[in-house]
Structure 1
Amino acid sequence: MNDPQRYSNIYCIDTESKFQFLYSSENKENKETKRPNVHKVTKIKNPETVRKIVAGNSQNCLVWKDYNTLEFYQQNQEKNSYTLDNEEIKDIHSGYETYLILTQSGKVFSLASISKSSHCEIPLNDPDNSSWKQIRPVPFFNDEKNNRKVQSIAMVGWSNYFLCENGELYGNGYNSGRLGDGTRNTHKNIPVLIYQNVSRVFGGVQGYCFFFTTTDNKLYAAGANNYGCLATGKIPKESSPVQISNWKADDILDLHCFYGHTILITKEGKTFGCGNKDYIGMECSQNVLEFREITALKNKKAIKICGAAYKTFIITEEYDIYGWAFDNNFKRWNLNLINSPGKIPRKIDLSDIFNGNSTIEISCGTQVVFCYPENHFNSIRKDFKSIFESKKYCDSKLMITNEKEISVHKKLVELRTNLKIEQIQKIINEKNFTKQDMKIFLKWIYIDQIQDTIILEKIFNSLNLSYPPKKKLEMDLLDLYKDQDSKDFNILVKIDDNEYDDDNQNDDDVNEEDDFEEIPVHKLILIARSGLFREMFDNIKENSNSVQDFSGKTIESLEILVKYFYTDEIELTADDDPELIVEELEDASEYYQLNKHSNLSSKLIKIKNQFDLK
């Protein structure tokens, strides 16, 4: 029997069995995938809540779950769990022996080993007090008096980089010129100022250099220049930032530093490489000292780079994965994963692990690669779970045997099953399903959780539904968004008076109906996603089908926000003004009272980075 839950599982690609503690012994041979080095991770529970996994050089990894939960796994040790109270995690990164955690408020936290070799990497005054048992705040950025709010972080080997909201770029750790502060051999625990007016910073798990862009649309690099990986056209190290000519910040979508090569993706989706001739994805007779397009990927629109040391992966807009890789001993990385592995990028087939609807996240440490679905819709599931558990806004009931009942939201149940509540109720009566059976069924309805495959399959068969489910929650909600006929509520947005043409229309010709534009929506979506609208529905009549919006936002921004409520994505068209949209939606989390696990802020940050907005 096909198990739909497997499509949300985490898989571990491990050439040296360093991370075998993450998977059970019975799946060590990995009969499921017929790949000797690809293993299903069983130790990390509830994979559907995972946002990101990172690993450094050691046999350990850090897992970010939900909005402020972290789990740390290591060999022969119990799991360590951490919760950042009153903080929402924005990003996590791994170095060699240190992990950095960035929060939405701009604070930075450190989790590090007590290994003496890693002390220069730890951004604290007292690295000797560091321990895997405790996440510690980095005082340099957590002191409210200095007002150093961090916007993004990057790590390269034993070095860390911190980009503040004011455009100042700081760094600390092992030097060798890659701190970019003009020195080479002085290692520094406390961050030092590298550059100002910086817009983005790029790193890599096991790189020896770093790149950044500036607000004046330039690209810079500094650090060890192994094999020409700085793309400067020459070999010498650069201990101070050097501009990379012929490249503009506006052209760059992603960039990643490796041990001896660098890979860059343009916003058009073209992939370029420079550095060691054996690792840049091209057949070359000598090292490449400037960025050159990778011909094997010429017709592929790339959107993301990941990898470590000699392992390189490219993800395309179709979520295909291309890779070329080597192990740490400079031998070809033959995992039966890449067809004819070698220097040239090859498509990696993960279709037997992840279904075609999955968007895959790949995270690389120096000794391991994690593959797992990217959880775009985690905040939607949590919102639906919240309203289901509250029962306050349920509008229908399912009667169970012995006169027990479960309150539900009619629109969502009918959407997911394509059946009327009355039809479901009839079958429940005929089959004598228990309340526990229905709870398992409703967990799939509301949060896409496959808790018990046997019971769920029995219910699906009784309802004459195909099992395993063909569509996930996000697909059903997208269909709901497109279904204009079923929308049962309107948000009324007042039209700016300046939109009227004074030469062609007098004030007397404008009636009250012309003063507003309508945004059709489903009341269920507003209840689930916005505390503001929940309060509104407490105070307006049940049969009301519209409400005026008083946020002062333009209708373009509100339409984008409404689509976000359905899809968890912020999508701009060519006609949208990114700066205006971001500015109008930045306060939306507070005004519309989005739940604390909402990812709206992180979506807007991505747009800022894409368009180099402040």
Structure 2
Amino acid sequence: MKRKDIRIFGFNTFSKILKNSSSKIKKPIQINLKKEYQIKQIIGSDSIFVLYQNGKAEEYKTNSKKKISIRNEKIEKISTGNKIISILTNEKKVYLSGNIITKSEKQSQNEFINISKRIEDPEDQNVNDVICGAFSVYLLTSKGNVYGIGENGFGQLGNNLNDQKKQAILMMKDVSKVFTGNSSSHVFILNSKKELFGCGNNSYGQLGLDTSIQKISELTKLKNIPKGKIIDIQCGNAHSIMLISGEDGKRRVYSCGNSISNGIYNCGDINSFTLIRSPLLDNLNIDRISSGKGHSLILTSKGKLFAFGKNDFGQLGIGNKKNKIYPVEIETDNFWLNVSNYDIGCGYETSFLHYSLISNLNEDFVNFFRNGEFSDYCFVTKDQKRIPVHDIILRYRIGSRNITNLKLLIQSKDEKEAKEILEMIYGNYDIDIDSKQEMKRYKFWKEGLNETMKRMYYDKESKDFTIKRGNKNVLVHKLVLIARSELYRGMFLSVTEDKSNKVTDYSELSDEAFEILIYYLYTNEIKDNGFKLTKEIRNELEIAMDYFQLNESVPNLVTIANELHNQKYK
């Protein structure tokens, strides 16, 4: 699967590209948009929007395609509902097109209205996230307040007021995250204390409450939530699914709502979040979830893809149009190169998945291990498979004394188990509990990857590469550059370039910006070095990310810098 490719199944929104294809695609089919830029996000409802890394977007309908842009601002995120399109820009503004725009505003077909201004408090109009329900929109501001705007027939704005289209209503303060769906009239809100609240339509128990309460017009604290950390909640029209990281570190999926859509083999609707039990999922760790109107997708850390729910348009990708009231596996033709770099998503009756550059420090180093490049030596497994490893990373992660013990442990495992153990070391990943306990007995487990990388950053003696900046030399670890920067990975893979050094200037970057960048390469953090994160330095950091061809990582370097600046000066 190429990095710019998409796989879709279900209702064929891309018929303009997929000529001679059925309107109902029953198995995942690959398409290539042939764009220069990497895909950042795909989101859909009755149409599909593709957002690229350069901040531009396109909308695909059954027989048409059009470009989406917002003046001179970059698009950071798109969220859609029922004939609603909301756009979050890099200026922390939200623009809206669709049913919520009032007729008095005389909106043209292609016009987007700035609805950030509908927040009454002018000091709270910087929006960090926008989330669309079916007929309502939720704005989460940089102050941690969430506002609702739009239809309120089910109380999905958290009050008993009539529809609110002219003003954004404050729903809750001190909010961590908001969850709803493109076809949903219910919403969940998680506060900073990790308490979960809900309101809106509950006619099928989709809020996890008894169906005798048809709708909840006030935000209600939800009890009997599964123990563990809430990773994600995805909402359909009449069901909800929740991804929980349990006390044992394993991620599981829970569901409630309509019996056809909730993935639980049961004769009736489920009015409390219940574990989806399936022999297919029992021994797998769940990576991501997504829901459409009445169907859901589950992606596991082993690269397996499952679906359940309604299947009228083939949106389950299983080759037919039969509904499935329990999870079934989708054949993926082994196209997953690295499951952590793939996103899944659902439109109303469509499903799609695509390669994403979104990554973090842990994933970058696991990818580095999986590539098997630039290794120093190999471990041999019980089934005589050779696994390339990197001496300096192992020495920092587990200590030189433990490498011999690790070698013996790998020799006792087959290739699959051995790779799981090594991925755990490289990326601080969770693996099955037995192997984790075995590693603890060998005293391998000491710290997270972030702490390891900080030690590497401050250890000048082991740095083996020099970046020249005029008459100054900056020492770094070659393997860190390779793991984090596509520029340097390509340079060291080249057979023609000098691999002993890379003479560069980076003259547009100040010493302050360059120091911030190098520390970020190691830690995904900005070091408190006394620098003022001025607008000039923040602009330089954006240039630096382009120079080094860094992945659009989480958290983003420029985003961190902006947030730190705002905390200090606002």
TM-score (norm 2): 0.64
Give the superposition deviation at 1:204: 0.9
Change (3 A) 1:527 1:351: closer
Q: Is 1:164 aligned with 2:146? A: no
What is the match of residue 91 of structure 2?
105
Distance 2:267 2:276 in 1: 15
SS of the residue corresponding to residue 205 of structure 1 reads coil
Compared with structure 1, are the counterparts of its residues 305 and 253 closer, same or farther at alpha carbon in structure 2 (3 Å cutoff)? Answer: same
Q: Which residue of 2 aligns with 1:270?
A: 252
Matched residue type, 1:228: G
Q: Deviations over 1:114-170 (max 9, x none)?
A: xxxxx2x34x67454141x33443252699944411111111111111111112211
Find 2:55's aligned residue among 43, 60, 68: 68
- Residue 477 of structure 2: aligned partner: 520
TM-score with structure 1 setting the length: 0.60
Alignment partner, residue 562 of structure 1 = 521
Change (3 A) 1:233 1:585: farther
Equivalent residue for 1:152?
A: 129
Contact 1:62 1:72 in 2 (8 A): yes
SS of the residue aligned with 1:41?
strand
CA drift at 1:172: 1.4
- Written as runs of structure 1 = structure 2, the 5 A alignment for 1:204-283 is 204-236=181-213, 237-247=215-225, 251-267=229-245, 268=249, 269-283=251-265
Q: Which residue in the other structure is 1:93 paired with?
A: 79
Match of 1:489 among 432, 449, 466: 466
Structure 1 residues 47, 202: closer, same or farther in 2, change over 3 A? farther
Matching residue's letter, 2:292: A
Whether the 8 Å contact between 1:306 and 1:312 is mirrored in structure 2 is yes
Please tell me whether residue 360 in structure 1 is matched to residue 342 in structure 2: yes
Partner of 2:367: none
Which residue of 55, 65, 73 maps to 2:44? 55
Alpha-carbon distance between aligned partners in 2 of 1:164 and 1:342, rounded to the nearest angstrom: 39
Structure 1 residues 18 and 376, CA, compared in 2 at 3 Å: closer, same or farther? closer
Given the superposition, is the C-alpha separation of residues 282 and 170 from structure 1 closer, same or farther in structure 2, using an over 3 Å criterion? same
| Partner of residue 23, structure 1 | 18
1:295-337 Cα offsets, whole Å, 9 max, x none, are 2234322232212111111122233211112146xx9967534
Alpha-carbon distance between aligned partners in 2 of 1:90 and 1:205, rounded to the nearest angstrom: 18
Structure 2 gap segments, 5+ residues each? 361-371, 376-425, 427-452, 489-501, 562-566
Question: Which residues in structure 2 correspond to 1:438-477 (within 5 Å)?
Answer: none
- 1:13 matched to 2:6? The reply is no
The Cα of 1:20 is off from its aligned counterpart by: 2.3
Supply the AA of the counterpart residue of 2:44: A
CA–CA separation in structure 1 for the residues paired with 2:188 and 2:153: 15
Trace 1:310-329 onto structure 2 (pairs within 5 A): 310-327=294-311
Which amino acid is the alignment partner of residue 65 of structure 1?
Y
Q: Is the 8 A contact 1:270 1:302 kept in 2?
A: yes
Q: CA deviation at 1:12?
A: 2.5
Instruction: Answer yes or no: is the 8 Å Cα contact 1:311–1:324 preserved in 2.
Output: yes
Q: Give distance in 1, aligned partners of 2:285 and 2:352.
A: 23
The amino acid that maps onto 1:110 is L
Distance of 1:207 and 1:263 partners within structure 2? 12
Give, in whole Å, the separation in 2 of the partners of 1:486 and 1:327: 55
TM-fit CA distance, 1:488: 1.9
8 A Cα contact 1:107 1:142, kept in partner? no
Matched letter for residue 244 of structure 2: T
Equivalent position of 1:503 in the other structure: none
Is the contact made by 1:51 and 1:375 (CA closer than 8 Å) also made in structure 2? yes
Equivalent position of 2:421 in the other structure = none
Encode CA deviations 1:564-587: one digit per residue, 9 max, x unaligned.
7xxxxx4xxxxxxx9989x99998
How is 1:287-436 mapped onto 2 (pairs within 5 angstroms)?
A: 287-296=269-278, 297-327=281-311, 335-337=317-319, 342-351=324-333, 354-357=335-338, 359-376=341-358
Structure 1 residues 550, 49: closer, same or farther in 2, change over 3 A?
closer
- How far the C-alpha of 1:348 sits from its partner, in A, is 1.5
- Give the letter for the 1:305 counterpart: I
Question: Aligned-pair distance for 1:527?
Answer: 11
CA-CA distance at 1:538 after TM superposition = 5.0
SS at match of 2:125: coil
The CA deviation string for residues 509-567 of structure 1, in whole angstroms up to 9 with x for no partner, is xxxxxxxx9642478988959xxx99866599xxxxxx9979887xxx955x2247xxx
Mapped to 2, the partners of 1:326 and 1:585 lie a distance apart of 54
Contact 2:256 2:271 (8 Å CA) reproduced: yes
**Cross-structure match for 2:35:** 46
Q: Aligned equivalents of 2:56 and 2:309: distance in 1?
A: 32
Deviation at 1:347, TM superposition (A): 2.0
User: What CA distance in whole angstroms lies between the structure 2 residues aligned with 1:135 and 1:534?
Assistant: 47
Distance 1:345 1:586 in 2: 49
AA of the residue aligned to 1:66: Q
Partner SS state of residue 562, structure 1: helix
* Structure 1 position 248, deviation (Å): 8.8
CA shift in 2, pair 1:336/1:591, >3 Å: closer
Q: SS of the residue aligned with 2:240?
A: strand
Identity of aligned residues (%): 17
Paired with 2:273 and 2:527, the residues of 1 have a C-alpha distance of: 34
Deviation at 1:103, TM superposition (A): 1.9
Q: Distance in 1 between the 2:533 and 2:300 partners? A: 29
Partner of 1:434: none
- The 3 A distance-change label for structure 1 pair 200 and 539 is closer
**One-letter code aligned to 1:90:** E
**What are the residue-to-residue correspondences of 1:565-576 with 2, within 5 Å?**
570=524
Distance 1:29 1:156 in 2: 26
2:477 partner SS: strand
Shift of 1:107: 0.7
What is the CA–CA distance in structure 1 between the aligned matches of 2:220 and 2:48, rounded to whole Å?
A: 34
Structure 1 residues 327 and 539: CA distance shift in structure 2, 3 A: closer
For the Cα contact (< 8 Å) 2:118–2:166, is it kept in 1? no
- CA distance in structure 2 between the aligned counterparts of 1:580 and 1:605, rounded to whole angstroms: 13
Bigger proportion of residues as helix: 1
Q: Specify the code of the residue in structure 2 equivalent to 1:11.
A: R
Give the Cα–Cα distance (whole angstroms) in 1 for the partners of residues 540 and 374 of structure 2: 34
Corresponding residue number in structure 2 for 1:611: none
| Equivalent pair of 1:274/1:291 in contact (CA under 8 Å) | yes
Deviations 1:198-244 (CA, angstroms, capped at 9, x unpaired): 11101111122100111233100000102111113453110110001
5 Å-filtered alignment, 1:125-204, equals 126=104, 128-131=106-109, 133-140=110-117, 145-183=122-160, 185-204=162-181
SS at match of 1:290: strand
Residue type matched to 1:171 in 2? G
Structure 1 residues 125 and 150, CA gap change in structure 2 (3 angstroms): farther
For residue 190 of structure 1, what is the amino acid of its counterpart? Q
Structure 2 residue identity aligned to 1:20 = S
Q: Distance in 2 between matches of 1:607 and 1:255?
A: 25
C-alpha RMSD of the superposition? 4.8
1:10 aligned counterpart, secondary structure: strand
Residue matched to 1:404? none
